[in-house]
């Protein structure tokens, strides 16, 4: 268990994350304007009357955003509310022309209810981080303070784009450590887990640098073993894994110092300074009451039917975690290989096609993909499986054939590498055709290999004597010499066996 040492003893951390991901959709949550607000788009060109809050304009819910939320909910095994409502959260800020944000009320069912996301905890075991809710809400516009010395500007392109806010749960009745985040590392793993899922689902590109994934970080500390939770602070709008981890650590230490010097931590909203790595109090935390939440009278309750949910469930892609489990349990791959192969959906799709369901291929294929193919991204793709493409593509069928030739003993790994390089160099034809064209095949003829071994041993009597006096490491030298003599064609396994036999 992660703890921080203080003057009075060990302190444990309690961490709650509110993660916002920008929902991928053609248009905004309540208007038909394009949801593409990237900086290349001219400011204030993708703004409907709804986004600009013109009086009398009525919001209309975009069902695709709802489907995206449901998709995420199903992926985290959450309860999907059959009926939920939207509410107005009132505050003033220049980037909020409505004067309120349409969100979902705390305390009443959000579109996605209680679920969980599994991470590998600090102790190395799987840990289910409970998620309290995920709800839909509007993003704000963007203030621009750096365009003029005396004026500020507002770009409304982002105004009204859908956000999914995903909130981790803290069970106050059960203060055990097994259901929430307790260290900076676990926070990162959880966030990467969220990112991986929403990307795999096509719900969001969840890119922290671009701001399409942001997190509010709630931290409190308590002496190791204490039952009650203490006051927490909230550091808002964090957009880097590194800063989030730094902020958690700094904030925990700050709170510990306050307690140890006899003070009390107040429920504040903090700001994090990237340059100093420090958090400082921005304002005292507002209560839900301060926002004067009330149900938005312009919107009907959001009703989702069982049918709709089942339709979405039927089209969910296989998620990376399920894929990893399949690779380790069905194909016998290591956790490491499985993790590498599921880093991108493209690599795992490619691997699945190349495997064609035959378990024996798994280990070799995984090795080839991880150490060779992934180093040459221009030479493979999931969609392009055409040798005539420029640069020459290596197809799943190519690598499958190559691996099958190795498994059958037709070629050695060394020859396979030569063929692979020829393919990278643009040579056409399948690996088998290339092997034939260049007469690249493995020599499995025991008689011929034995003859090569004999001549190598005869030419290196001094080394033979060394080996026999106990320097068994010399074997590699002989193997190399035999391989050289046979032009790299001899079956290395046979060379090893015959050498050992003759050196007895």
* Contact call for residues 206 and 21 (beta carbons, < 8 A): yes
Kindly state the smallest distance separating residue 234's Cβ from ligand ADP, in Å: 6
Q: Are strands 142-144 and 100-103 parallel, antiparallel or unpaired?
A: unpaired
468 CA to centre of own chain: 54
Cis amide bond preceding 279, omega within 30: no
Question: For residues 15-54, which are near ligand ADP according to CB under 6 A?
Answer: 15-18
Residue 153 binds which entry of ligand ADP, Mg ion, none, with Cβ cut-offs from 5 to 8 Å by kind? none
User: Residue 18 or residue 118: which is nearer to Mg ion going by CB?
Assistant: 18
User: Residue 140 or residue 456: which is nearer to ligand ADP going by CB?
Assistant: 140
Residue number of the CB atom closest to ligand ADP: 16
- Quick one: which of 504, 501, 459, 450 has its CA closest to 477? 459
Kindly state the smallest distance separating residue 285's Cβ from ligand ADP, in Å: 7
User: Residue 109 or residue 396: which is nearer to ligand ADP going by CB?
Assistant: 109
> What is the full DSSP assignment across 416-454?
HHHHHHHHHTT--S-HHHHHHHTT---B--HHHHHHHHH
Site residue total, ligand ADP (CB under 6 A): 16
Q: How far apart are CA 46 and CA 54, in angstroms?
A: 15
Question: For residues 404-433, which are near Mg ion according to CB under 5 A?
Answer: none
- State the binding string over 107-136 for Mg ion (x if CB under 5 A, else -): ------------------------------
Question: Six-digit token pair at 354?
Answer: 């190349």
Cis amide bond preceding 498, omega within 30: no
**Binding of residue 153 to ligand ADP (CB under 6 A):** no
Q: How far apart are CA 234 and CA 221, in angstroms?
A: 13
Q: How far apart are CA 211 and CA 203, in angstroms?
A: 15
- 297: three-class secondary structure by DSSP: coil
**Binding of residue 229 to ligand ADP (CB under 6 A):** yes
**Binding of residue 112 to ligand ADP (CB under 6 A):** no
Single out the residue of 6, 11, 12, 14 in contact with ligand ADP (rule: CB under 6 A).
14
Task: Give residue for tokens 């150490």.
Answer: 371
Q: How far apart are CA 191 and CA 4, in angstroms?
A: 22
Residue 218 binds which entry of ligand ADP, Mg ion, none, with Cβ cut-offs from 5 to 8 Å by kind? ligand ADP
Kindly state the smallest distance separating residue 214's Cβ from Mg ion, in Å: 12
- State the binding string over 10-29 for Mg ion (x if CB under 5 A, else -): --------x-----------
User: Residue 18 or residue 260: which is nearer to Mg ion going by CB?
Assistant: 18
Q: For residue 221, which phi and psi values (nearest 5 degrees)? A: -125, 160
Beta-bridged to residue 270, according to DSSP, are: 235, 281
* Contact call for residues 72 and 195 (beta carbons, < 8 A): no
Residue 498 binds which entry of Mg ion, ligand ADP, none, with Cβ cut-offs from 5 to 8 Å by kind? none
- State the binding string over 168-207 for ligand ADP (x if CB under 6 A, else -): xxx-------------------------------------
**Binding of residue 232 to ligand ADP (CB under 6 A):** yes
Kindly state the smallest distance separating residue 368's Cβ from ligand ADP, in Å: 43
Helix or strand run (H / E) with residue 89: strand 87-90
Residue 168 binds which entry of ligand ADP, Mg ion, none, with Cβ cut-offs from 5 to 8 Å by kind? ligand ADP
CA 31, 36, 41, 43 dihedral sign is positive
Q: How far apart are CA 314 and CA 316, in angstroms?
A: 6
- State the binding string over 268-297 for ligand ADP (x if CB under 6 A, else -): ------------------------------
Single out the residue of 167, 206, 270, 482 in contact with ligand ADP (rule: CB under 6 A).
167
Residues of the shown chain interacting with Mg ion in the complex, contacts defined by CB under 5 A: 18
Residues of the shown chain interacting with ligand ADP in the complex, contacts defined by CB under 6 A: 14-18, 106, 167-170, 218-220, 229, 232, 234
């Amino acid at each position: 268990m992660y703890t921080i040492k203080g003057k009075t003893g060990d302190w444990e951390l309690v961490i709650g994350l509110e993660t916002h991901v920008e929902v991928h959709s053609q248009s905004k949550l309540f208007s038909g304007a394009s949801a593409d607000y990237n900086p290349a788009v001219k400011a204030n060109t993708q703004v409907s009357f709804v986004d600009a809050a013109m009086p009398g304009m009525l919001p209309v819910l975009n069902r695709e955003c709802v489907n995206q939320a449901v998709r995420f909910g199903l992926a985290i095994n959450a309860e999907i509310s059959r009926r939920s409502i939207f509410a107005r959260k009132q505050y003033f800020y220049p980037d909020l022309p409505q004067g309120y944000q349409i969100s979902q009320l705390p305390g009443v069912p959000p579109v996605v209810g209680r679920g969980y996301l599994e991470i590998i905890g600090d102790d190395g075991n799987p840990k289910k981080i409970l998620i309290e809710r995920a709800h839909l809400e509007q993003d704000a516009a963007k203030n621009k303070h750096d365009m003029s010395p005396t004026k500020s500007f507002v770009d409304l392109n982002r105004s009204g784009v859908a956000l999914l806010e995903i909130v981790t749960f803290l069970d106050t009745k059960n203060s055990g450590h097994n259901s929430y985040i307790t260290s900076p590392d676990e926070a990162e793993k959880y966030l990467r887990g969220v990112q991986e899922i929403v990307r795999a689902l096509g719900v969001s590109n969840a890119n922290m640098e671009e701001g399409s994934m942001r997190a509010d970080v709630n931290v409190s500390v308590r002496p190791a073993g204490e039952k009650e939770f203490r006051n927490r602070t909230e550091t808002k709008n964090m957009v880097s894994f590194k800063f989030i981890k730094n902020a958690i650590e700094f904030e925990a230490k700050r709170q510990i110092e306050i307690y140890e010097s006899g003070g009390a931590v107040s429920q504040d909203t903090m700001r994090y300074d990237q340059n100093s790595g420090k958090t400082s109090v921005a304002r005292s935390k507002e209560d839900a009451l301060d926002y004067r939440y009330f149900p938005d009278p312009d919107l009907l309750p959001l009703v989702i039917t069982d049918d709709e949910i089942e339709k979405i469930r039927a089209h969910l892609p296989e998620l990376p975690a399920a894929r990893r489990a399949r690779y380790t349990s069905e194909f016998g791959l290591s956790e490491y290989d499985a993790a590498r192969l599921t880093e991108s959906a493209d690599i795992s799709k490619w691997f699945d096609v190349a495997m064609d369901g035959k378990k024996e291929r798994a280990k070799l294929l995984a090795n080839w993909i991880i150490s060779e193919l992934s180093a040459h991204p221009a030479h493979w793709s999931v969609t392009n499986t055409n040798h005539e493409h420029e640069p020459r593509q290596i197809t799943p069928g190519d690598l499958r054939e190559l691996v099958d030739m190795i498994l059958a003993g037709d070629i050695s790994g060394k020859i396979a590498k030569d063929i692979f390089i020829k393919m990278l160099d643009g040579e056409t034809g399948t690996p088998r055709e290339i092997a034939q064209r260049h007469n690249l095949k493995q020599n499995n003829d025991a008689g011929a290999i034995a003859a090569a071994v004999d001549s190598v041993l005869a030419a290196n009597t001094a080394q033979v004597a060394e080996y026999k006096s106990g320097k068994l490491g010399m074997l590699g030298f002989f193997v190399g010499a035999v391989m050289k003599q046979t032009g790299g064609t001899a079956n290395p396994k046979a060379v090893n066996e015959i050498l050992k036999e003759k050196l007895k």
